[in-house]
Amino acid sequence: MSLTHLDETGAARMVDVSAKDATVREAKAACHVAMRAETLALVVAGTARKGDVLATARIAGIMAAKRTADLIPLCHPLAISAVAVDLAPDPALPGIRIVATVRTTGPTGVEMEALTAASVAALTIYDMLKAADRSMRIDNLRVIRKSGGKSGDFEQD
Amino acid sequence: MSLTHLDETGAARMVDVSAKDATVREAKAACHVAMRAETLALVVAGTARKGDVLATARIAGIMAAKRTADLIPLCHPLAISAVAVDLAPDPALPGIRIVATVRTTGPTGVEMEALTAASVAALTIYDMLKAADRSMRIDNLRVIRKSGGKSGDFEQD
Amino acid sequence: MSLTHLDETGAARMVDVSAKDATVREAKAACHVAMRAETLALVVAGTARKGDVLATARIAGIMAAKRTADLIPLCHPLAISAVAVDLAPDPALPGIRIVATVRTTGPTGVEMEALTAASVAALTIYDMLKAADRSMRIDNLRVIRKSGGKSGDFEQD
Amino acid sequence: MSLTHLDETGAARMVDVSAKDATVREAKAACHVAMRAETLALVVAGTARKGDVLATARIAGIMAAKRTADLIPLCHPLAISAVAVDLAPDPALPGIRIVATVRTTGPTGVEMEALTAASVAALTIYDMLKAADRSMRIDNLRVIRKSGGKSGDFEQD
Amino acid sequence: MSLTHLDETGAARMVDVSAKDATVREAKAACHVAMRAETLALVVAGTARKGDVLATARIAGIMAAKRTADLIPLCHPLAISAVAVDLAPDPALPGIRIVATVRTTGPTGVEMEALTAASVAALTIYDMLKAADRSMRIDNLRVIRKSGGKSGDFEQD
Amino acid sequence: MSLTHLDETGAARMVDVSAKDATVREAKAACHVAMRAETLALVVAGTARKGDVLATARIAGIMAAKRTADLIPLCHPLAISAVAVDLAPDPALPGIRIVATVRTTGPTGVEMEALTAASVAALTIYDMLKAADRSMRIDNLRVIRKSGGKSGDFEQD
């Protein structure tokens, strides 16, 4: 098997998608930020405005989805038609679970956009809480669902 | 305890660092991309040019460090003085281990820059290998070392 | 009535436009920069090259239209097909009137692109003249015409 | 009087600030978004999460302050040390009042950064409410306070 | 003859392409970096990893193609479907020859994207070698082939 | 001799400048756009507003100088203190000569910023004239002067 992002000599290239059909495609990516229980309490407790930690991470994730092709060298620029970033505090971790969903009508999938959105939302949470907790970790970033396109649907935990 | 990135009403803000001294600061962040043994083989085997997977990820990580303040809403823009991204295939995972090191002379630390570099290097590896392996995961992203600044040095696995 | 940019729980999201048709859409936005008569005289008097104040503002506005989705968190990226920024000194204000016109063939309107172009053109004029006049104001930024799309045509002063 | 942003032939240039001292400088800019009373009610009424309209605008304004030199052609890039964007619903307008405060330690002032932050926060509010109200206007954008630097402190309504 | 990028009064504008068909278009641009023979030897000699000079330039060129509309004021943003940047050391120059190929399906050609990719790849080589050789020159940047679109195919040396 | 931008294994890295002093540094880069005499006539003839071709290129060059670290992977971000881009039609070429001058107070030189400014100004001229002349070439891009920094002053044609 060979890698599509390298040419026959092994040089990196942006794969040609000009012959691929534009179809509706969706991808979901997930990860979580693990933190101490006291840190999580700072996010979920208190006034409604404490919601700004999660609101800020959500906006950062949505904006990052649109910057994916700027960040990942061989990604194709594409017209994203929807992005949502869900953030759920989970005392069992303890930490915050993140799921990013991206949709497009285009010739390529949007896994990278969903992974980038989840990743930057997680980094934003880290940034806002790092003064309180230096032991946080961002874990288990992966695609959990993908639909549309020739390679078929895909789902994993 | 309160969060420095929220004001007294809970609204997000960029923390004022105008009274902080500019000192030399360094941060190291690490993560790994877990993949199937066959996928790792595609990266390490073959001609020297196969090195383009790792070279591409290294460049993407270095460039992303410079984009950190553009991606993370409350991060301060700062003059990065050095970035290195080390990528080591590890058959024991199996996968690729990533360590990003960032240095600055400035009023704030560079943990977010190091985490962003490691994160985007990992996403780039994912992108280049995703046609071969949809089960990859990016795991255990954290700061492993930080020095300089008032909060003191810090090290963890 | 509910807001389309918030989901049922009130969280921000990028509205899904994947089911909307791509049609030709146009929007015009306008504003003005109010300044002292002496300041306006610096722009319009003198050699032809003084035109560089207006030329610079025009270019800044056109480039900003292309950056709209990068700046406005929930805006969809879209393929702009035309942008024009008209700048007219008006001694009656005294100041400079700005009209930005943007066209696309796509699933969403271009009001935000036109507003962003007019806004950044106005900010650029402010920047170039601020050493001469600190009392300038940017006023009355609004959409003056919109056509194409399901919501129908619209026009206001 | 001549314009500092044009050379002796009238061509645009970025003014040389290499001989200016780095001092602490602050600027405050303000504007408001005028809207119908029913539109304002959609923002302030309802659940706490409705706060996402204001939270999104606040984040967009903070991020835009960091992009100022990217948007305004002759602005110098500078190391912002603090940004805050305050948003206050005002039933008397009716609408939302915006004040952006930016601080730096550097050779140039931060009026443009404050104006850009206020401007993009206003545009973001417009974007999130435009489906409900096409008659909104962004008005009275100006610098209300500036301190630091050789030109002296300045304050206006 | 008049220039399409200026309106009837001579003001710059982004040409309206909303009436043009989206067709497959390709452009190839080329240039070379001339350097001393000893400088070229530093690139081509040594271990396989020395390949990082060329790999870095290749990635920089590919990423720059995606930033074209951000850099060139009147360029239309477009969905690039493929980019390749070929770099060939040529002892006869002595120096490195660069060819960039870009493809899109859209209403405008991709000459500017190909020229930008070649240009930034050349600048990246310059950057990496400048400590060794201050006499380098980037020469003969031009479009060597263009196909698709109404203006017909084109080829030159 | 070894290359500073590669580590001992040959991997690309951003050179550490944290131990270098911040001094005033300046660089000048030059190139030209060669075109047919008739094409040059379109730029220089006619009304004053035809000046928008040169004004647009000048602005594009200045803005590109500020984007250098975003485009060139191993360039350090730095606080540019002045940029000027001079454009002179030269019937003897025939074509347009470009000189870009960049100044900073910082730990690294600004050759790359000057080269990038000249390069993007040239590409912008190409873009605005390409409908009239497909045979244009961008030639002889090089640093013509550099001062400040430990490596000493430098000058060449």
**Does the annotation place E74 within a ligand binding site?**
yes
ipTM over the 0.90 cut-off: yes
pTM above 0.90, yes or no: yes
pLDDT for the residue numbered B118: 98
**Which residue of chain B has the CA closest to E59?**
B56
Compute the residue count for chain C.
157
Q: Where are the alpha helices (DSSP H) in D72-143?
A: 111-129
- CB contacts of D52 in chain A (<8 Å) are 51, 55, 58
**Which comes out higher in pLDDT, residue B4 or D99?**
D99
Phi, psi values for residue A137, rounded to 5°: -135, 145
Question: Are the C-beta atoms of residues C124 and D111 closer than 8 Å to each other?
Answer: no
- Whether residues A66 and C77 touch (CB distance < 8 A) is answered with yes
- CB contacts of D74 in chain F (<8 Å) are 62
DSSP state, residue E116: H
Q: Residue D50 pLDDT > 90, yes or no?
A: no
Give how far Cα D8 sits from Cα of A30, C47, D3, D5, F60, Å.
57, 10, 9, 10, 20
Find, among D7, C143, C99, the residue nearest to E13 by Cα.
Answer: C99
Q: What is the mean pLDDT of residues F83-92?
A: 96
Q: For residues B43 and E144, what is the distance between their CA atoms, to the nearest angstrom? A: 34
User: Which of C79, C81, C84 faces E13 most closely, judged by CB atoms?
Assistant: C84
- CB contacts of C49 in chain F (<8 Å) are 51
**Which residue of chain B has the CA closest to D70?**
B70
| Confidence grade of residue F2 (pLDDT, cut at 50, 70, 90) | low
Give how far Cα D109 sits from Cα of C130, D114, D145, E71, Å.
11, 10, 11, 26
Q: Residue D2 pLDDT > 70, yes or no?
A: no
Catalytic-labelled residue, pool A90, A127, A139, A153: A127
Residues 6+ apart with CB under 8 A from E133: E35, E36, E38, E39
User: Which of C55, C60, C63 faces F52 most closely, judged by CB atoms?
Assistant: C55
Q: For residues C38 and E137, what is the distance between their CA atoms, to the nearest angstrom? A: 47
Closest CA–CA distance from residue B14 to any residue of chain D (Å): 5
Query: What value does the mean pLDDT of chain E take?
Result: 91
Chains touching chain D through at least 3 C-beta pairs below 8 angstroms are A, B, C, F
> pLDDT exceeding 70 applies to what percent of chain D?
95
Per-residue pLDDT tens over the stretch B13-37: 999 998 888 899 999 999 999 999 9
- The gap between the terminal CA atoms of chain B, to the nearest Å, is 26
The residues pairing with E32 across neighbouring beta strands, listed in sequence order, are E97, E139
Compute the residue count for chain F.
157
Helices C111-129, D111-129: axis angle to 10 degrees equals 160
Annotate chain B with DSSP letters as a single string. Answer: ---TTB-TTS-B-BPP-TTS--EEEEEEEEEEEE--HHHHHHHHSS-GGGGHHHHHHHHHHHHHHHTHHHHSTTPPP--EEEEEEEEEEETTTTEEEEEEEEEEEESS--HHHHHHHHHHHHHHHHHHHTTT-TT-EEEEEEEEEEESSTT--EE--
User: Which of E12, E16, E106 faces C58 most closely, judged by CB atoms?
Assistant: E12
Q: Which residues of F are annotated as a binding site?
A: 74-76, 112-113
Annotate E17-47 with DSSP letters as a single string. Answer: -TTS--EEEEEEEEEEEE--HHHHHHHHSS-
- Whether residues A48 and D48 touch (CB distance < 8 A) is answered with yes
Q: What is the mean pLDDT of residues E122-139?
A: 95
- Whether residues A16 and E81 touch (CB distance < 8 A) is answered with yes
Question: Are the C-beta atoms of residues C117 and C29 closer than 8 Å to each other?
Answer: yes
Per-residue pLDDT tens over the stretch D60-108: 999 999 999 999 999 999 999 999 999 999 999 999 999 999 999 989 9
Q: For residues C16 and F121, what is the distance between their CA atoms, to the nearest angstrom? A: 39
Chains touching chain E through at least 3 C-beta pairs below 8 angstroms are A, B, C, F
- Whether residues D62 and B12 touch (CB distance < 8 A) is answered with yes
> pLDDT exceeding 90 applies to what percent of chain B?
73
Query: What value does the mean pLDDT of chain B take?
Result: 91
Q: For residues E25 and E82, what is the distance between their CA atoms, to the nearest angstrom? A: 11
pLDDT for the residue numbered F91: 95
pLDDT for the residue numbered A47: 46
Name the pairing type of β-strands A137-147 and A23-34: antiparallel
Hey, is F72 helix, strand or coil? coil
Tokens of residue B145, six digits: 């070392």
pLDDT for the residue numbered F92: 97
- CB contacts of D70 in chain F (<8 Å) are 63, 66-67
Per-residue pLDDT tens over the stretch F52-85: 899 999 999 999 999 999 999 999 999 999 999 9
Q: What is the mean pLDDT of residues A47-61?
A: 79
Q: For residues D20 and D39, what is the distance between their CA atoms, to the nearest angstrom? A: 47
Find, among C29, C24, C5, C65, the residue nearest to C149 by Cα.
Answer: C24
- CB contacts of F13 in chain B (<8 Å) are 62, 82-85
- Whether residues A123 and B143 touch (CB distance < 8 A) is answered with no
CA C123 to chain centre: 11
- CB contacts of A62 in chain C (<8 Å) are 12-14, 73-74
Q: Residue F48 pLDDT > 80, yes or no?
A: no
Per-residue pLDDT tens over the stretch D132-156: 999 999 999 999 999 988 777 889 9
- Whether residues F11 and B58 touch (CB distance < 8 A) is answered with yes
| Confidence grade of residue F46 (pLDDT, cut at 50, 70, 90) | low
Give yes or no for a cis peptide into B94 (omega within 30° of 0): yes
Query: What's at C76, amino acid-wise?
Result: H
Query: What value does the mean pLDDT of chain F take?
Result: 91
pLDDT for the residue numbered F47: 46
Q: Residue A21 pLDDT > 90, yes or no?
A: no
Q: What is the mean pLDDT of residues E131-146?
A: 96
The residues pairing with C146 across neighbouring beta strands, listed in sequence order, are C27, C154
Closest CA–CA distance from residue D140 to any residue of chain F (Å): 28
- Whether residues C123 and D119 touch (CB distance < 8 A) is answered with yes
Q: Is A16 exposed, middle or buried (0-12, 13-18, 19+ CB in 10 A)?
A: middle
Interface residues from chain F to D (CB-CB < 8 Å): 24, 55, 58-59, 62-63, 65-67, 79-86, 103-105
User: Which of A51, A58, A63 faces D51 most closely, judged by CB atoms?
Assistant: A51
Q: For residues D95 and F3, what is the distance between their CA atoms, to the nearest angstrom? A: 59
User: Which of C62, C79, C105 faces E73 most closely, judged by CB atoms?
Assistant: C62
- CB contacts of E77 in chain C (<8 Å) are 66, 79-80
Per-residue pLDDT tens over the stretch B32-60: 999 999 999 988 875 444 568 999 999 99
- Whether residues F10 and E49 touch (CB distance < 8 A) is answered with yes
Tokens of residue E114, six digits: 């190909």
Q: For residues F38 and A4, what is the distance between their CA atoms, to the nearest angstrom? A: 46
Catalytic-labelled residue, pool E127, E133, E153, E157: E127
Per-residue pLDDT tens over the stretch A126-146: 999 999 999 999 999 999 999
Q: Residue B155 pLDDT > 90, yes or no?
A: yes
Question: Are the C-beta atoms of residues F13 and E56 closer than 8 Å to each other?
Answer: no
Q: Residue F49 pLDDT > 70, yes or no?
A: no
pLDDT for the residue numbered C1: 55
Per-residue pLDDT tens over the stretch A56-69: 999 999 999 999 99
Name the residue with tokens 């002093």. Answer: F21
Tokens of residue F101, six digits: 């001058």
Range from B23-27, D49-53, E69-73 carrying the lowest mean pLDDT: D49-53
Q: Which long-range contacts (C-beta less than 8 Å, at least 24 apart) are formed by E83-89? A: E83/A13, E83/A14, E83/E113, E83/E117, E84/A7, E84/A11, E84/A13, E84/A14, E85/A13, E85/E57, E85/E58, E85/E61, E85/E117, E85/E118, E85/E121, E86/A11, E87/E54, E87/E57, E87/E58, E87/E121, E87/E125, E89/E40, E89/E43, E89/E44
Closest CA–CA distance from residue C136 to any residue of chain A (Å): 32
- Whether residues E15 and C82 touch (CB distance < 8 A) is answered with yes
Count of Cβ atoms closer than 10 Å to residue B57 Cβ: 28
Range from A151-155, B55-59, E93-97 carrying the lowest mean pLDDT: A151-155
Which residues of chain C register pLDDT less than 70? 1-2, 46-51
**Which residue of chain E has the CA closest to B47?**
E48
- Whether residues C56 and D42 touch (CB distance < 8 A) is answered with no
Q: For residues A115 and D106, what is the distance between their CA atoms, to the nearest angstrom? A: 37
Chains touching chain C through at least 3 C-beta pairs below 8 angstroms are A, D, E, F
Q: What is the mean pLDDT of residues A88-104?
A: 97
Chains touching chain F through at least 3 C-beta pairs below 8 angstroms are B, C, D, E
Per-residue pLDDT tens over the stretch E12-49: 899 999 888 889 999 999 999 999 999 999 888 754 44
**Which residue of chain D has the CA closest to A52?**
D55
Hey, is D57 helix, strand or coil? helix
**Which residue of chain A has the CA closest to D57?**
A59
Residue D127 appears among annotated catalytic residues = yes
Q: For residues B71 and A68, what is the distance between their CA atoms, to the nearest angstrom? A: 11
pLDDT for the residue numbered E47: 46
Mark A128-145 as b/e (b = at least 16 C-beta within 10 Å).
Answer: bbbebbeebbbbbbbbbb
Hey, is F137 helix, strand or coil? strand
Closest CA–CA distance from residue B105 to any residue of chain F (Å): 6
**Which residue of chain D has the CA closest to B108?**
D81
Give yes or no for a cis peptide into F107 (omega within 30° of 0): no
Interface test with B, best of E44, E47, E52 (most B CBs within 10 A): E52
> pLDDT exceeding 90 applies to what percent of chain E?
73
